[in-house]
Amino acid sequence: MLLPTLLLIHSFINLSFRVNPTAAAPSSYQLQQSSLGASKPDDWEKYVRSPPKRTIHPVKVLSSYTLGNVTNPNGLLTGHGSTVLTRSVPPSSNSTLGNPPPDVPPTIVVDFGQNIAGFLSIRFGGAHNATPGLPGIRLAFSETLEYLTNVSDFSRSDNGDTITPGSDQIAVQSKPYTWTDTHGCEFENTKVCADGLHGYRYMKVYLDALPADAPYTTSYGSVAISSMSLNFTAFLGTPDTFTGWFESSDDQLNQWWYDGVYTNDMCTDTFLENSTDPRDAASPTLEGKQVLFDGAKRDRDPYVGDLAVSSLTSYLSHDDPIASRNVLADLGDHQRDDGWIPPASINNYTLPLLDYPLWWVVCSYDLFMYTGDYDYVRTYYPNIVKVLDTFYPSITNPTTQLVQKGLGVSANYGDYAFLPRTGPVTYYNVLYVLALQRAASIATFLGGHSDDAARWTARAQVVSDSVNSNSFDTSVGAYFDGSCGFSPCPTHAQDGNSISVISGVANETTANSVLSYLSKANARPYGNSFYDNDLLQAGFSQRVYAFISYFEIDARFKTAGLAESALEEIRRLYGWMAANDPGITQWEGIADNGTKYEGAFTSLAHGWSTGIVPALTNNVLGVTPTGPGYTAYNVKPIPGDVQWAKGVVPTPNGPISVYWNSDKAHGLFFLSVSAPNGYSGTISVPVSNSSVPVYFDSQQAWNGETATKSFAVQQGDGYPTISKLRHFRTALSTNATLLAIFHLAPQLNLPNYYLAAGCITQTVWNYVSGLPPETGIADYDLVYYDASDLSWEAEDRVIQASRKLFKGAGVK
């Protein structure tokens, strides 16, 4: 089992040199002799799934699905002649020719090779009819072959604004022309209609006409198809658009990371009235803006809960925050007077969900941390206050201080899965704690909101304590879900138990208990189910949401010793989706035996299911922001069974690049990091125990017991924190007094200290801001840490020793 040793790299190191610090432990020979530091060649572009350009052609015609009179079925692919579908009028029933041949509509099925989204165009080479009307072509779209029928697995008309029966219809003209799938009808505003944009992999094309489309189309005649293509309207994530990437020793993890990015790219598109959810979701305040839809096929409305995952995927791959910002800002602008934030534009911003206002707060924090968007948080800070201080207190039980579904307006509210639960639901409350914590951080970073930060932090602790007192089931070692009458329901949900760990509601012991229970009770061949039994509804114990599974996976990474269980869950979940039709893209939900959880209706390219991207970047590569826009960041690789990883994380001022490699047989770990000037990073290397040596820039910084020359050490809880002074001295070389203090400080031999020499903070700030450096120091502070408070006698001994040491340095 690997434990982290911390290497603290202050902003001044990166500020001055954009250094590539390295750390390794332990080694019996010089780091230069180790092959671990030899970085692998970048080879990530081969995993990218995006089409190279917006015009996409089918890759094959599936011959086993060809029916009826079809000549040259591959012509539309090869360009060597047209594919011709011919359907003759069947003989009358009194024919003397014997049994007439069956009247089979000529049919082909084309495969675009992977899920895509956009508008289809067909180049027709001409047509002629055999009965009155133009020859009719019908199109059915599907993400899988399983649900490919004469109608689409899902079409916009299925959700309202119904103009088609689930297939798109074409009245093919006699002369060559190009038809483009546009929402609307060709005749009388009601006949020969198409739904426009589709998300799919497979398309069935057959010569047929709807009776309702008479007299404009006929089922009989001949149609020549010269070619077809799709205009890919979603984000075109070609390799040159990647500002962040990931690669590791595990080829499958690598591919699934890029599959997640492509899935999310398919959901990143322009909000247009006729290609979004028709259930009163059209919004003039979103029209024409780039957004992150929930799914490429459906519902095509941007939901804020989905952004809790899909936004992270966007930030970490293409650094494209505008789609998320547009959604978050729009929902904030539609906040209700009581503080409630709508989940999406659907139903004219009125769909009643109880958890999504909390996700709006969490997602606002993520936008701030990953992109440094101060304008957004300053603008919408009052909305955050209103969510947390008006709406949720209105549905809080005054006795338990827990959010209680059923109080106030909340009785008929749903959540991300419209679950029939009630009472003090653990998921709502631990998410409430997380939102309060995130909001307190925003308040602190902005400054001037210390009262808000203190109030929210205190409330988070109260709610956390109450969850542990009222909602923990000691019989299984996990949190109850909600109430059944006046008692807790004997059912345990993945959502609340997972987020209890991320929010810190569960301490280390409880976290291990919760995650152990989920492994035992919820593990399925295709992921971990979101309930341990079917008490609330049949099938819940077999249903898997990759959305909620992300939080469990993240919790496993963040709980010491469980990284390999996180990777094992990833491999079951993402391996299942990758191995089953349509492949590549990641599904909205999975049901019994690994089936699509809502059948044909299931979205198989859903942004909320792309949690593998932040899971691997934040944990395996190990990079997370701890200050707005990565002005402060952590690099803490959690390898599990991965041997090496490398990648780039985009920030507003340039990339953070990380490469690490390990040799478990010899107990070696090598880490290299580079970051933009002005950023402060805390870097951790995993070692077997705190006594092994750690090297920095190929120099030993910690010999397993004490710091070596040029390093100051903070030792605590078995994690040595090592601060390299050499670069700081170079950066502040104009300050001779400060250098004298740094030279003398290690002689104090304090186990746990930081040195704050006079106006050191102002000196660093001046450097960052490009101002002249400070020229003198009047005093110094010595800040030290211990498991318990020092007695005044011990403190006085430190003071006297430091006075003696610095007597000749010209400072107090």
Tell whether the model's pLDDT for residue 4 goes beyond 50: no
| Chain segment 702-740, per-residue pLDDT in tens | 666 665 554 444 443 333 444 434 444 444 554 555 556
Average pLDDT over residues 92-98: 61
Total Cβ atoms within 10 A of residue 131: 13
Tens digit of each residue's pLDDT (9 = 90 or more) over 322-372: 999 999 999 999 999 999 999 999 999 999 999 999 999 999 999 999 999
Q: Is the Cα dihedral 577, 582, 587, 592 positive or negative?
A: negative
**pLDDT computed for residue 753 by the predictor:** 47
**pLDDT in the model for residue 706:** 65
Q: Can you give the pLDDT at residue 768?
A: 46
Classify residue 773 by its DSSP letter: P
Taking only the tens place, the pLDDT of each residue in 607-656 is 999 999 999 999 999 999 999 999 999 999 999 999 999 999 999 999 99
Look up residue 663 and give its two tokens. Answer: 């040799």
| CA neighbor of 28 nearest in space, from 741, 770, 667 | 667
Q: Each residue of 544-574: pLDDT tens digit?
A: 999 999 999 999 999 999 999 999 999 999 9
> Are the C-beta atoms of residues 729 and 765 closer than 8 Å to each other?
no
- The residue ranking higher by pLDDT, 614 or 101, is 614
Cβ–Cβ under 8 Å, residues 118 and 232? yes
What pLDDT is attached to residue 790? 58
Instruction: Give, to the nearest 10 degrees, the angle between helix 356-371 and helix 322-333.
Output: 140
> How far are the Cα atoms of 242, 354, 438, 712, 759 from residue 634, in angstroms, in the given order?
22, 33, 17, 19, 26
CB 345 within 8 A of CB 328: no
Residue 53 CB neighbour total at 10 angstroms: 9
Complete DSSP assignment for 219-259:
S-EEEEEEEEEEEE-S----GGG-SSEEEES-HHHHHHHHH
For residue 272, count CB atoms less than 10 angstroms from its CB and return exposed for 0-12, middle for 13-18, buried for 19 or more. middle
- Residue 684: pLDDT band (50, 70, 90) is confident
- 73 beta partners: none
Question: 19-28, 144-153, 429-438 — which is least confidently predicted?
Answer: 19-28
Cβ atoms of 346 and 280 within 8 Å: the answer is yes
Q: What is the mean pLDDT of residues 374-392?
A: 99
Q: Is the pLDDT of residue 128 over 70?
A: yes
Dihedral pair phi/psi, residue 736, rounded to 5°: -65, -35
Q: What is the pLDDT of residue 793?
A: 74
- pLDDT for 348 equals 98
pLDDT of residue 700 exceeding 90, the answer is no
pLDDT per residue over 200-248, tens digit each? 999 999 999 999 999 999 999 999 999 999 999 999 999 999 999 999 9
Kindly tell me the burial class for residue 30, based on how many C-beta atoms sit within 10 Å of its own C-beta (0-12, 13-18, 19 or more): exposed
The interaxial angle of helices 546-557 and 508-522, nearest 10 deg, is 140
Distance (Å, rounded) from C-alpha 478 to C-alpha 466?
15
pLDDT higher than 90, residue 453: yes
Indicate whether 86 pLDDT > 50: yes
Give 100's DSSP letter. Answer: P
Is the pLDDT reported for residue 390 higher than 90? yes
Q: 555-558 — which CB contacts under 8 Å span 24+ positions?
A: 555/498, 555/499, 555/501, 555/502, 555/511, 555/515, 556/515, 557/615, 557/618, 557/619, 557/620, 557/638, 558/501, 558/502, 558/619
Give the C-alpha separation, 628 to 679, whole Å: 10
Backbone angles phi, psi at 167, to 5 degrees: -120, 155
Confidence label for 12 from pLDDT (cuts 50, 70 and 90) = very low
Q: Write out the H or E segment, with its range, that includes residue 519.
A: helix 508-522
**3 state DSSP class of 402:** coil
pLDDT exceeds 70 at position 94: no
pLDDT value at position 42? Answer: 94
Q: Does the pLDDT at position 33 exceed 80?
A: no
Q: What gap in Å lies between CA 728 and CA 384, rounded to an integer? A: 39
CA distances from 301 to 296, 328, 500, 603 (A): 9, 13, 29, 13
Residue 686: band (very low, low, confident or very high) from pLDDT cuts 50, 70, 90: confident
Please say if the pLDDT value at position 415 is more than 60.
yes
Q: Note the pLDDT tens digit of each residue in 753-769.
A: 444 444 455 555 554 44
Terminal-residue alpha carbon distance, the chain: 47
407-446 as b/e, with b when 16 or more CB fall inside 10 Å?
Answer: bbebeebbbbbebebbbbbbbbbbbbbbbbbbbbbbbebb
Considering only CA atoms, which of 612, 627, 617 is closest in space to residue 648? 617
Cis check: omega of the bond before 319, within 30 degrees of 0: no
Closest CA to 493 of 625, 373, 598, 355: 355
pLDDT at 320: 86
> What is the phi/psi pair of residue 133, to 5°?
105, 165
User: pTM for the full model?
Assistant: 0.87
Residue 36: pLDDT band (50, 70, 90) is confident
Q: CA-CA distance, 742 to 8, in Å (whole number)?
A: 17
Phi, psi of 781 (to 5 degrees): -120, 145
Q: Are the C-beta atoms of 298 and 603 separated by less than 8 Å?
A: yes
- CA-nearest of 6, 22, 35 to 696 is 22
CA torsion 257-263-265-268 (nearest 10°) is -140
Q: Tally Cβ neighbours within 10 Å of residue 228.
A: 23
The pair of three-digit structure tokens given for residue 601, joined into one six-digit string? 């209706």
Dist CA 52 CA 192 (whole Å): 33
Q: Which residue spans within 611-667 are E strands per DSSP?
A: 623-625, 632-635, 644-649, 656-663
Q: Identify the H or E element spanning 205.
A: strand 198-207
Q: What is the pLDDT of residue 699?
A: 67
**pLDDT-based confidence at residue 52 (cuts at 50, 70, 90):** very high
Name the token pair of 499: 């987020």
User: What gap in Å lies between CA 262 and CA 585, rounded to an integer?
Assistant: 7
Q: Tokens 């088609």, residue?
A: 164
Distance between CA atoms of 592 and 103, rounded to whole angstroms?
Answer: 38
Cα 90 from Cα 632, distance rounded (Å): 75
What is the overall mean pLDDT for the chain? 88
Hunting for tokens 């096929």 — which residue is that?
A: 297
DSSP assignment of 107-128 equals EEEEEEEEEEEEEEEEEEEEEE
Residue for token pair 């969900």: 353
